[in-house]
A and B are shown apart, each in its own frame.
Chain A
Amino acid sequence: DGGITQSPKYLFRKEGQNVTLSCEQNLNHDAMYWYRQDPGQGLRLIYYSQIVNDFQKGDIAEGYSVSREKKESFPLTVTSAQKNPTAFYLCASSMDRVVGTEAFFGQGTRLTVV
């Protein structure tokens, strides 16, 4: 079935370590997004990509990095520069520039840094 998959569902890391969150989609979508959600809060945009090998910063990109080497994949690296990385991370995809269609979201990765 077509969809968007995030892995792992739960992730624990020690403070100071970089960690990479996976996001894969088989919907043939051009655009992909990463969001962060803190408890009781809305979603905040970290990075987004409209095409392979191109991506733009969202509202809270500091301490994060991304790559888009393949259309299907948009991994997010949480670096040691991110001061408060513990959060729920959500990936999404949608058809590029076709604003009348919906975005599809993964089930999220809950990252805990200890």
Chain B
Amino acid sequence: DAKTTQPNSMESNEEEPVHLPCNHSTISGTDYIHWYRQLPSQGPEYVIHGLTSNVNNRMASLAIAEDRKSSTLILHRATLRDAAVYYCILRNRDDKIIFGKGTRLHILP
């Protein structure tokens, strides 16, 4: 079973920041937090990952709570192309990648 909990859906206005939450209360010390997103009828694509510190890349930022039991994916300025299902995943050394149901993000023009 997935080890993360995400809201089923969220809405945001275009050109505004979006904060997508993820709870992972049973995270272990060696689990990395990964985020992927899936556009309709496509395979998922990598967004960002982190272990303990906050991370930034060209697509998004990842804010990780100090106790690592939750994290937030931040899209700084949402566009219509960001409408997708966003998955928060924990990866550890047994290398299974288990997906939950994700958050469906709707962007309002």
Contacts and interface: CB of A to CB of B under 8 A. Distances in A.
A102 B97 contact: no
Nearest to A110: B41
Nearest to B98: A45
Contact of B44 (A58, A90, A99): A90
A104 B46 contact: yes
Nearest to A103: B97
Interface residues of B, number: 26
Chain A interface residue bracket vs B? 20 to 34
Contact of A48 (B32, B95, B99): B95
Contacts of A88: 41
Nearest to A56: B96
A43 interface: yes
Contacts of A42: 2, 85, 87, 99-102
A105 B36 CA distance: 10
Nearest to A31: B95
Nearest to B89: A103
A95 B75 CA distance: 27
Given A108-B41, A108-B43, A100 B99 contact: no
A44 B32 CA distance: 20
B84 interface: no
Interface in B73-95: 85, 87, 91-93, 95
